Amino acid sequence: MDAASEYRAQGEPDKSSHLWKYTPWRKVHPTGKIDEIPEFGEPALKLTTIDSEDTPEGVRLSREEGFTTINQQDDLLTSNFLIAASSGTSYTLEVDSGFTSENPVMLEIDVGNTPTVLHLHLELGSRSNIELVTKIVGSSDWFGFMRTGQIGSASIVNDVVINLVDSGTVLRSDSIIIGRDAQVRAGTISSGSERTKADLRFQMGERGGNLRVLGSVMSAEKMHLDHHIEIHHAAPETFSRLSWHSACGGESRTVGTGMLRVAEGSQGADAGQIFHNLLLSPKAEADSIPELEVMENEVVGCGHGTANGPIDEQQLFYLESRGYDSADAKRALIAAFLNSTLSEMGTEKLHHWLVDMLSQELEGLYEQT
């Protein structure tokens, strides 16, 4: 069957499903009528560096037709829906083997003001060294974003996705395969859209892979931001850390679910996850559900944890006693909280760029908190 038929054959997922428990599919679907696969437009894409310079040689973006491959460990409902919605059309971002970037590369996705969908496939060659920022902007009521791809062996990759969409719903699905001895930092920054449902999955099927998944999430008003992260260890001597920080204001809700799977035969695997939530108002809500599934006995360690709490009043008092007004002191503490994951997302140049961007977002967000 084609992707549309596969999608319709699955039906609506039950709320008992781990993935859809907190954000039902019907609320994410663009019309709420789950049998429908509406027609969508394509967003505008622009590939530059973060300094708005031309893309260096060795990095290419091309349009492809007929992409239908799905990793069977992915959520088939989301994958089939997005493939059908994009009519099998995708864009491939290719990085040559041995490529080294002196300047972070940025793919800007402008979703405009109409419903759009995009399938982006990453092909990052072996021994490549690149920092890639994907920035999503616009005011569309609905945007579907599917990312698939492979990171080549011995590559060093900092991959950051930033959601700055003004309103509406964002549905995001990532399925990334990590090669032997690759070192990957996968960052997510989210302060946009009224509703976000993200399903981020990483497959570590070769020895020596090293992965850090990092999140800096900001919510306000009545935003509902739900991120599900799965990391699959399916080879010996693989390493992963999931660190997710969410600051929740207004009447917003954030959800973070993490699943670390360690397959039998993955001797020497080392996996851990931690969720931290900063509650900025009495009506804000944050849910964190870290889980482990370990089928191998000989592991270095597998652990998880979560912590929720308000801003520390003693820290706030200290800053105010040093001349900060209340709003600036609060903003500084929130920025420090989010920067603990932001600081790990890239090199010094990329970090400074991300901090500047974050500061602008904080100005708007915490006027509402």
The per-residue pLDDT for range 294-318, each reduced to its tens digit, is 999 999 999 999 999 998 889 988 8
Strand ranges (DSSP E) for the chain? Answer: 44-49, 59-64, 90-95, 105-110, 116-124, 129-137, 142-151, 156-163, 169-178, 183-190, 195-204, 210-219, 224-233, 239-248, 253-262, 270-279, 285-294, 301-310
Stated pTM of the model: 0.94
Percent of the chain with pLDDT over 70: 97
326: domain range? Answer: 3-365
100-104, 120-124, 236-240: least confidently modelled range: 100-104
Greater pLDDT, 365 or 280: 280
Mean pLDDT (whole number) for 196-209: 97
- When pLDDT is averaged across residues 90-114 and rounded to a whole number, the result is 95
pLDDT > 50? residue 369: no
Exposure string of 145-183, with b = 16+ CB inside 10 Å and e = fewer, is bbbbbbbbbbbbbbbbbbbbbeebbbbbbbbbbbbbbbb
Residue 318: how many CB atoms within 10 A of its CB?
13
Q: Is the pLDDT of residue 105 over 50?
A: yes
What pLDDT score does 358 carry?
Answer: 85
Backbone dihedral region for residue 315 (phi beyond 0: left; psi -120 to 50: alpha; all else: beta): alpha
- Tokens describing residue 225: 């931001």
Task: Say what angle helices 348-365 and 326-342 make with each other, to 10 degrees.
Answer: 140
Domains of the chain: total = 1
| Number of residues in the chain | 369
